[in-house]
Amino acid sequence: MDALVIAGPTASGKTALALALAKQMPAEIINMDSALVYKGMDIGTAKPSLEERRQVVHHLIDVVDLNASYSAADFIVDVERLVPEIQARGKMPIIVGGTLLYLHSWQNGLSDLPSANEHLRTQLQQEWEADPAAMHARLSVQDPIAGKRIHPNDPQRIIRALEVITLTGSTLTEQQQQRKATDLDLAVVFIEPPTKAWLHERIEQRWQQMMHQGLIDEVKWVMQATNSQLDLPAMRCVGYRQIAQYLLAEINLAEMEQQALSATRSLAKRQLTWMKKMSCHLRLNAESSTQEQQLAVMSLIKSVQ
């Protein structure tokens, strides 16, 4: 086994389990959450505290500026570099997070897709704004498989698919079929909530804790640092956009909280959908104690080494 992966929906206890394991054996933690990569976004992303990061070495946290982007391809490059480096130090790499797209792409490979072309993307964005239905129909003709898979009201993915066709002459579907899976031997652990109601309660508790810790002030700082550009990838993180809209007086406080909680529950639902489709070595009950989970994972590690 080259690395241990701990994944699960938001608020399921992934960080606590990873820290407990890293204190029991020589290990370093690699973040697998698309929000934790951004500098300065600490409270709303439930980033491990500075004290926790002093106790255990963490990677891929605070590595991207707020106005930049970070993709699954970036994660794969970074994690493929980090795992052997950590192994060379005689430690176990523990990859932890809830961005299941990163894990799926890492396990199954990504095609060598072209970088974004700003001029072309601007043109396609203008065409989308003029006639969204025509854009999706165009995609359905040029790439029928992607047309069925991508929702007609998903401009980001429609524009990207059409951009790939224009830049490469081949469809996104064709490109994605040219995948190279990782050669690393991964032991994958999923933490699953016992019920939807249990997870929703945890999500609300975490939200209240974040608000008490000063999440609104953090979003104010992020807005100042980004000139309130709500279309940035960083501002698409759940909670941040809703609070920004509240600060811009687009919605009131009650609407902001309701929309933020709804967005977080939707994120958790997508994470669980990924987990149902993916295989793993061990599924843990999120309601179990960290000690019980730790014992189960240590048993798994011994069995696969």
Under DSSP, the state recorded for 93 is E
Q: Would you list the DSSP string of 214-255?
A: THHHHHHHHHHHHTT-TTSGGGGSTTHHHHHHHHTTSS-HHH
The answer to whether residues 25 and 141 belong to one domain is no
The answer to whether residues 151 and 255 belong to one domain is no
Q: Which residue has the higher pLDDT, 177 or 182?
A: 182
Q: What is the pLDDT of residue 157?
A: 84
The terminus-to-terminus CA distance of the chain in angstroms comes to: 6
Q: Do residues 107 and 186 make contact, with C-beta atoms less than 8 angstroms apart?
A: yes
Count of structural domains within the chain: 2
What is the average pLDDT across 284-289?
97
What is the average pLDDT across 225-253?
93
The answer to whether residues 168 and 277 belong to one domain is no
Q: Which of 140, 158, 176 corresponds to the end of one domain? A: 176
Q: What is the pLDDT of residue 250?
A: 96
Q: Which of 176, 205, 223 corresponds to the end of one domain? A: 176
Confidence label for 231 from pLDDT (cuts 50, 70 and 90): confident
The answer to whether residues 77 and 204 belong to one domain is yes
Q: What is the pLDDT of residue 109?
A: 85
The answer to whether residues 225 and 283 belong to one domain is yes
Task: For residue 53, give the amino acid letter.
Answer: R
Domain housing 144:
118-176
List, edge to edge, every strand of the sheet that includes 186-192: 58-59, 27-31, 92-97, 3-7, 186-192, 282-285
- CATH at 122: 1.10.20.140
The answer to whether residues 152 and 15 belong to one domain is no
Q: What is the pLDDT of residue 176?
A: 64
Q: Which of 156, 176, 196 corresponds to the end of one domain? A: 176
Q: Are strands 282-285 and 186-192 parallel, antiparallel or unpaired?
A: parallel
> pLDDT tens digits for 39-68?
999 999 999 999 999 999 999 999 999 988
Helical pair 215-226 and 196-213, crossing angle rounded to 10 deg: 70
In this structure, of 9-13, 171-175, 295-299, the range with the lowest mean pLDDT score is 171-175
Confidence label for 232 from pLDDT (cuts 50, 70 and 90): confident
Radius of gyration of the chain (CA): 20
The answer to whether residues 106 and 131 belong to one domain is no
CA–CA gap between residue 76 and residue 109 (Å, rounded): 9
The answer to whether residues 132 and 105 belong to one domain is no
The answer to whether residues 189 and 171 belong to one domain is no
Q: What is the pLDDT of residue 111?
A: 67
CA–CA gap between residue 304 and residue 214 (Å, rounded): 43
Under DSSP, the state recorded for 197 is H
> pLDDT tens digits for 154-180?
888 899 899 989 988 888 777 766 667
What is the average pLDDT across 222-241?
91
The answer to whether residues 71 and 151 belong to one domain is no
- The structure tokens 């490979």 sit at 109
Q: What percent of the chain has pLDDT over 70?
A: 98
pLDDT at 7 exceeding the cut of 90: yes
pTM for the model: 0.80
The answer to whether residues 150 and 191 belong to one domain is no
In this structure, of 69-78, 124-133, 190-199, 216-225, the range with the lowest mean pLDDT score is 69-78
Helix (H) / strand (E) containing 58: strand 58-59
The answer to whether residues 168 and 256 belong to one domain is no
- CATH at 299: 3.40.50.300
